[in-house]
Amino acid sequence: MKEKLESIRAAALAALDGAQSENAVEELRVRYLGRKGELTAVLRGMRDVSPEERPAMGALVNRIKEEVEAAIGETLANARAAERSQRVASERIDVTIPGRRPLLGRSHPLTQVTAELVDAFVGLGFSLAEGPEIEDDYHNFEALNFPPDHPARDMQDTLFVEGERVMRTHTSPVQIRVMESQQPPLRAIAVGATYRHDSDATHSPMFHQIEGFMVDRGITFAHLKGVLTHAVRAVFGERSAVRLRPSFFPFTEPSAELDIGCFGCGGSGGACRICKGTGWIEVLGSGMIDPNVFRAVGYDPEEYSGFAFGIGIERIAMLKYEIDDIRRFFANDLRFLSQF
Amino acid sequence: MKLPLRWLNEFVRTDLDTAELCHRLTMAGLEVDAVEERGAGLNGVVVGKVTATRAHPDADRLTVCEVDAGEGTPATVVCGAANVRAGIRVAFARDGAVLPDDRRIGRAEVRGVESAGMLCSEAELGIAEQSDGIMVLPGRTPLGADVAELLGLRDTIIEVSITPNRGDCLSILGLAREVALVTGGRLREPKVRLKESGGACGDAVSIRIEDERCRRYAARIVRGVKIGPSPLWLRLRLQAAGMRSVNNVVDVTNFVMLERGQPLHAFDLAKLARPEVVVRAAAKTKAIQTLDGVVRALDPDDLLITTGDEPIAIAGVMGGADSEVSAETVDLLLESAWFAPATVRRTARRLDLHSEAAYRFERSIDIGGVASALDRAAAMIAELAGGSVAPGMVDVYPGEREADPIELRPSRATELLGCSVSGAQARKVMKALGARVDKGAGGALSVTVPTYRTDLEREIDLIEELARVIGYDEIPTELPSRPLMAGSLPERIRMERSIRQSLQAAGMSEAVGLAFASPDTNRILPGVNVAGRAVRLLNPITQEEPELRRSILSTLLAMWRHNRNQGATAIAGYSVGKAYWHEGVAGEGWRLGGVLAGEMPSIGLGARRAPELGDLKGILETLFEQRRVLADVAWRPGTEWKSLHPGKSATIELGGAVLGVIGALHPDAEVELDVDGAHWLFEIDLDRLAAHSTPAVRFHGLPRYPAVQRDLAVVVASEFESDQISRFVREWNRDLVEEVELFDEYVGSPIAPGKKSLAYSIAYRAADRTLTDEEVNGLQEHLVLALEKHFDVEHRQ
Ligand SMILES: [Zn+2]
C-alpha cells in the first residue's frame, strides 16, 4: 500500500509538472483527489489496514494528499498566471480613441463676469437684491433726482413701455426699492439687464449693470474710495492703479468716475488701442448718495450718508476679453461662446 | 464742446503743455475726449504773387501763371480757376507741399505744360467747405510766408465732454474760467466798446413778457447793416469750434454764443408786423414756419416770441422764416434772453429740433450775462457789417434779484468727505469759483454763487465743488470700520447657478438674447404661465420687434438659426431670462429655455446621433433631481401651444401646476420660424420652480434587508404611455415595491404590428424581513393579473 501511495504521488506530481492549462490541472485534481480519484480510493482502502499500521499509514496518506493538493494549488496558480499574461499579451485597444462625452457647455461671458463681480462684493458683505426691469418713472428717474424735462435724462435715452412705464435705464431703481423697504445700515448690490434706446458697436439697447450701495451713519467719500479701490483690485488684480475723477450723476453728489491703469499699455498711453492713449480705463461711475434721494425714501440726510456705484458689465467683459463689438454678446455664435 | 487753444488764449494764458492741461481738466470733472491738432498736416503752402498769366495752349479753361514766391526765379504753375489774374497774391502749394487732406503736391505735366505746384482755393486749404476759384490774399501779404502760420490755420482743439450740470462750460469763456481755476491763471474778459447813434432802441420797439418761463428778455437795434460774408478770422473761429459760416450777422450771433454761452437771435426789423415783441405761450397759435422752411405744429404750452398775432420764433429753439435775416436785411432786432430749460427741452424734443441754442438753454444759461452778450454782438455787427447801434437796449428782467446765499458748513464737508476741511480753505475755494463769501451762523459760510453757476443751489453742491477743487486724489482712501455683515445671494440666484452647472455638464451653452420680439414670434411662442397679451414698446428699437418676448425660446430659436447659418450641425443652448406679459399692467417673470437640435452635443465613437426626447427630458430630470423635486414632476402628453407637435410634446407639471413645456415644433411652426431637422426644446417657469418648497433633508436609516429584482415584460398598443404602468405599479403596493424602471421598449417581430413590448425592472423590498422567492413570485403573479385587469396588456413570458 505504501508503494502504491508513493507511485500515485510520483505520477501525480509528474502529471502536474506537465499540466499547462487550468483545465488540465482540474482534470488531474479529479483524477487523484476527486470522489472517485486514485488517492481517495486508497483512503477508502484504509479500513483493510491493520489497526497497528493504521496511524502511520494514515499519516502517510494525509501527507501525500496535502503534498498533491499543494502541488495542484501551485500549478493552478501558475497556469492562471500564464493564462492572464497570455490574455494581456493578446489584448490591445486604441487608447487614442476620444472619450465619449457631452461637450462641455459654457456659461455666457457676461454671466461669468457678473459672477466674478457679484462674488467680489458679496465677499465684502454686500447682499444681492433684485427688482423689475419694467419700471415706473418714479423709481427709475424721479426718486433718483432726475426731474422731469431735465437734460440729465438725455444721458439715458429711454425705451418707453405702454402704461407710463419704462424699461429701466439702469439698475439704480433697485437702490430705491431696497431703501424703501429697509432701514440702514445697508450694503446691497443689484445686477441685471438694463435698456437704452441706443444701438451701435459699443452700445446695445439691452445691456447689463451691477450696482451697489452702502448706507450708514458716518459713511464718507474716503470710504467710497476705500471700498471701490478694494473691489476693483479684487476683480482686476491687486496691483491695479486706481484713480477717481469728478463727474456727474443726478443721484450722487459728489460724483466720481473710477479709472484703472490701462492693462493694455501698463498706463503709458501712447498709441494704445484699449485706453485710446490716455493710460486709463474708465470702469465705473460712483458717488455719495444725493440728499434728495435720501429724502425720497424717507431717510434723514443729516443722519445717514452713503455711497453708490454702477458698473457696465459688457464694458468690463469687452475690456477683459478684448471683444471688439458689443453685439457679439447677443448673437450667441457657438464659435464665440465656446471661447469662454 | 470744442475748445480751440488759440481762442482760449485770449481769455487765459497758460504755459502748460497740452497733455498736462488735458489732465488737469479731466481731473476737475471736465473730461477731455480727444485732442485734435488742426492744420498739422498742412505744409509747404506759401504766399506767392502771380506776376504774369497766359492762356494754356491746349486747354481753354486752364491758365499758365508765373508765380513769384519771393525766391527770385518765378515758378510756372497751371491753374484752372477763373479768378486767377496777374497781380494777385495767392496761396501757392509748392512742389512737396502737403494739404490738410494729406494730398501731396508735386511737379506734374498738365496737358503738356509742366506745373511746379498748385494755387489753392479755401476749400483746398481746409478753410471752407467749397470755393469758387482760388483764394486771393490781401495785397501786402509778405511773399514766401507760410500760409498756415500767417492765417492761423494751425490750432490745437481740445474736445471736452461737458456733463449736463455744467451748462456754464458750454462756452469758451466758461471753459476759460475752469482753466484759470485749475492752472491758477488770471482770467481776462474782453471789454465791449459800443458806439451808439440814431433813434433810441426803446422808442422803436417795446417788449412784453407774458409768461414767467421767460425770466429776462433784452433787445437791441442795429440799423443800416450790410449782409455779406464774414472775414476770414471769424470764419476760422467758427470752424475751429465746429460751426459753419452763414453770413456776417448770423456768424456774429453764433460767435457770441460760443464765446459766452448766450444764444442770440437776429430778426429782420422790417419784417416785424408791429414794433413790439411779446413772449407768450402758443395757446391758440397753431403753427409757425421755422427758418428751415418747415411748418411746425405748435403745442399750446410752447413758448413763443410774437409780434402782433404773428409768431416770429419758438423761444430758444428756432426762429421763424418770416422774420429771418436775408441778403436784403438792413435793420436788425437782436434778441438776448433767458428761457426756462424745461420748456425749451420739451419743445425741442417734440419737434426734434436740436440746435446749439436749445442745447444751451436746456442746460440753463447765465441770466446775469444776457445784457453783456447783447452788447458784444451789437458792437461786433456794427464793426463787421457796418450799421449803427441804436442807443440803449430794452431789457425786461422782472424778477431781478441777487441769488439766495447758500449755507456751507465746513464741518459738514469734513463729515461727508472724510478729510478735514477748514473754514479758511472752504472760503478760498469758494472765492476761486467767483462766489461771494460772508460769515454765516455757527462757523458756517454764507456763499453767494455767481449767476453762471446755475448748478450750485444746495450745500451739497458746494461740498462737491470743494472736493473737486481740493482734488479727489487729496481725499484719503479708507475702509469703513463697521460691524461685520455677511453678504448673501437670494435663493433664486443660487438656484440659477446650480441649474447652469447642470445644463453645461450636459453640453448646453448659455445664450443671452435681447428681450425684444415680433408679434409673430409672440404669437407662435406664447410662453409658459404668461398671461394676457404681449407688452408693447412705445419707441421700439426696430419696427420689426415692437414687443417684449413672451417666451425665452425666441432667443434660442434665433441662436439656432444663426448658428445653423454659420454651418453648425449641433446646437445645444439654454437661456435664463425674463418673459413679459401685459394683463391690465405689465408683468415679468424668470424663465429657462433650452434647445437640442441637429446632433447631440457630444463627441466620441457612436456619439454622433440625432437627439431624442429622452435626451432633453433626461437633462431636465437631472435638474429636477438636483432640486429634489423630481418626485413631484409629471409629464402630461400634449400642450396648449399650437406651435408644438401634438404627438411629440408634453406639459411639465410640478405639484399639479404647469411648470413648462417640452417637445418638438409643429412642422407648420418649423416653416414659420425657419428651422428644421431633429430638435427638442423646453421652457420652464423658474419662479414657480423656485417657489416649490422641498422638504428639509433628513437621514433615513439604510435598508436592513435585501431587495429582490424581477423583470416584467408586457405587450401593449404602440400609442400606450409607458409611464402609466410605472405609476400603477408604484401605487399597487407601496409597502413592497421600491422602484420601477422601464428598461426596454421593443417594436418588431415577433411583436405584432401596432404593438410594442415594454420591459420593466421592479425592485421589491420589505422593511422588516428578507422577501422569499416564493413571496416575490406570488407578488409578480398578482401584479400581472392586476395589470391585465386595468390595462389592455398582454404579459410576455
Ligand atoms: Zn493703454
Any idea what the CATH number is for the domain that residue A149 is in? 3.30.930.10
Is there a contact between B539 and B553 (Cβ–Cβ < 8 Å)?
no
Task: In whole angstroms, give the CA distance from residue B375 to residue B393.
Answer: 9
Sort out which chain B residues have CB atoms less than 8 A from A216's CB and list them.
Answer: 480, 482
Residue range B583-596: mean pLDDT, rounded:
96
Q: Give the rounded percent of residues in chain B with a pLDDT score beyond 90.
A: 76
Name residue B680's beta-bridge partners.
B596
Q: Does A65 lie in the same domain as A170? A: no
Q: Does A115 lie in the same domain as A47? A: no
Which helix (H) or strand (E) is B726 found in, with range?
Answer: helix B723-732
Question: Would you state the pLDDT for residue B389?
Answer: 95
Residue range B430-437: mean pLDDT, rounded:
95
Q: Is B572 close to A256, i.e. CB distance below 8 A?
A: no
Q: What is the CA radius of gyration of chain A?
A: 42
Q: Does A260 lie in the same domain as A166? A: yes
Tell whether A256 lies on the interface with B, counting CB pairs under 8 A: yes
Q: Is B586 close to A243, i.e. CB distance below 8 A?
A: no
Question: What's the fold here for domain B491-691?
Answer: BirA Bifunctional Protein; domain 2 (3.30.930)
Tell whether A264 lies on the interface with B, counting CB pairs under 8 A: no
Of A219, A246, A248, the CB nearest to B472: A246
Q: Does A132 lie in the same domain as A248? A: yes
Q: Does A156 lie in the same domain as A67? A: no
Shortest Cα distance, chain B CAs vs residue A266, angstroms: 17
Coil vs helix vs strand at B678 = coil
State which residue of chain A sits closest to B34, comparing Cα positions: A276
Which A positions 35-64 lie with beta carbon below 8 A of chain B?
none
Q: What is the CA radius of gyration of chain B?
A: 41
Which A positions 87-146 lie with beta carbon below 8 A of chain B?
97-108, 110-111, 115, 118, 121-130, 132-134
Q: Is A248 close to B585, i.e. CB distance below 8 A?
A: no
Q: Is A204 close to B514, i.e. CB distance below 8 A?
A: yes
Tens-place pLDDT, residues B632-687 = 999 999 999 999 999 999 999 999 999 999 999 999 999 999 998 999 999 999 99
Question: Would you state the pLDDT for residue B139?
Answer: 84
Task: In whole angstroms, give the CA distance from residue B431 to residue B421.
Answer: 15
Assign B115 a pLDDT band (cuts: 50, 70, 90).
Answer: confident
- Averaged pLDDT of chain B: 92
Question: Would you state the pLDDT for residue B668?
Answer: 95
Is there a contact between B221 and B204 (Cβ–Cβ < 8 Å)?
yes
Q: Is B485 close to A334, i.e. CB distance below 8 A?
A: no
Q: Is A124 close to B487, i.e. CB distance below 8 A?
A: yes
CATH entry, B708-796, from 3.30.70.380, 3.40.50.300, 3.30.9.10, 3.10.20.30: 3.30.70.380
Q: Is B472 close to A245, i.e. CB distance below 8 A?
A: yes
Q: How far is the CA of A266 from the centre of ligand 1 (A)?
A: 6
Sort out which chain A residues have CB atoms less than 8 A from B473's CB and list them.
Answer: 243-244
Say if domain B201-396 classifies as CATH 3.50.40.10: yes
Of B165, B463, B600, the CB nearest to A248: B165
Sort out which chain A residues have CB atoms less than 8 A from B35's CB and list them.
Answer: none
Q: Does A140 lie in the same domain as A66? A: no
Q: Is B417 close to A222, i.e. CB distance below 8 A?
A: yes
Residue B283 has pLDDT above 70, yes or no: yes
Class of domain B406-474 (CATH, top level) = alpha beta
Query: B190: which residues sit within 8 A by CB, 6+ positions away?
Result: B10, B11, B376
Q: Is B605 close to A100, i.e. CB distance below 8 A?
A: yes
Sort out which chain A residues have CB atoms less than 8 A from B165's CB and list them.
Answer: 152, 248
Sort out which chain A residues have CB atoms less than 8 A from B363's CB and list them.
Answer: 151
- Note whether residue A192 is domain-resident: yes
Question: Would you state the pLDDT for residue B434?
Answer: 93
- Give residue B23's Cα distance to chain centre: 26
- Note whether residue A99 is domain-resident: no
Sort out which chain A residues have CB atoms less than 8 A from B480's CB and list them.
Answer: 214, 216, 218-219, 223, 226-227
Query: For the range B428-437, what are the long-range contacts, defined as Cβ-Cβ under 8 Å and sequence gap of 24 or more?
Result: B429/B465, B429/B466, B429/B469, B429/B470, B430/B462, B430/B465, B432/B181, B432/B469, B433/B181, B433/B465, B433/B469, B434/B177
CATH of domain B2-39+155-183: 3.30.56.10
**Backbone φ/ψ region at B382: left (φ over 0), alpha (ψ -120 to 50), beta:** alpha
Of A101, A161, A243, the CB nearest to B602: A101
Q: How far is the CA of A261 from the centre of ligand 1 (A)?
A: 8
Of A160, A206, A227, the CB nearest to B515: A206
Among A65, A91, A117, give the residue marking a domain's end: A91
Tens-place pLDDT, residues B484-535 = 788 999 999 999 999 999 999 999 999 999 999 999 999 999 999 998 999 9
Of A222, A331, A338, the CB nearest to B418: A222
Given a cut of 70, the residues of chain A with pLDDT beneath it are 155
Q: Does A72 lie in the same domain as A34? A: yes
Q: Is A288 close to B488, i.e. CB distance below 8 A?
A: no
Q: Does A153 lie in the same domain as A64? A: no
Q: Is B510 close to A247, i.e. CB distance below 8 A?
A: no
Of B26, B163, B341, the CB nearest to A248: B163
C-alpha cell of residue A317? 467683459
Q: Does A140 lie in the same domain as A41? A: no
Question: Would you state the pLDDT for residue A155?
Answer: 67
Of B419, B468, B508, the CB nearest to A105: B508
For residue A102, what is the DSSP state?
Answer: E
Q: Does A257 lie in the same domain as A166? A: yes
- How many domains, in total, are found in chain A? 2
Q: What is the largest CA-CA distance in chain B?
A: 129
C-alpha cell of residue B553? 425660446
For residue B630, what is the DSSP state?
Answer: G
Tens-place pLDDT, residues B221-241 = 999 999 999 998 999 999 999
Among A57, A91, A125, give the residue marking a domain's end: A91
Question: What's the fold here for domain B43-151?
Answer: OB fold (Dihydrolipoamide Acetyltransferase, E2P) (2.40.50)
Q: Is A106 close to B504, i.e. CB distance below 8 A?
A: yes
Tens-place pLDDT, residues A157-201 = 899 999 889 999 999 999 999 999 999 999 999 999 999 998 888
Q: How far is the CA of A256 from the centre of ligand 1 (A)?
A: 21
Q: Does A273 lie in the same domain as A154? A: yes
Residue range B72-76: mean pLDDT, rounded:
84
| Least reliable range by pLDDT among A319-333, B6-20, B59-73, B532-546 | B59-73
State which residue of chain B sits closest to A333, comparing Cα positions: B563
- Note whether residue A104 is domain-resident: no
Same fold, B2-39+155-183 and B708-796: no
Q: Does A304 lie in the same domain as A202? A: yes
> For chains A and B, what is the number of CB pairs under 8 angstroms?
270
pTM for this prediction: 0.86
- Give residue A42's Cα distance to chain centre: 73
Q: What is the largest CA-CA distance in chain A?
A: 129
Residue B35 has pLDDT above 80, yes or no: yes
| Domain hosting residue A75, numbered range | 2-91
Bond prior to A250 in cis (omega within 30° of 0): no
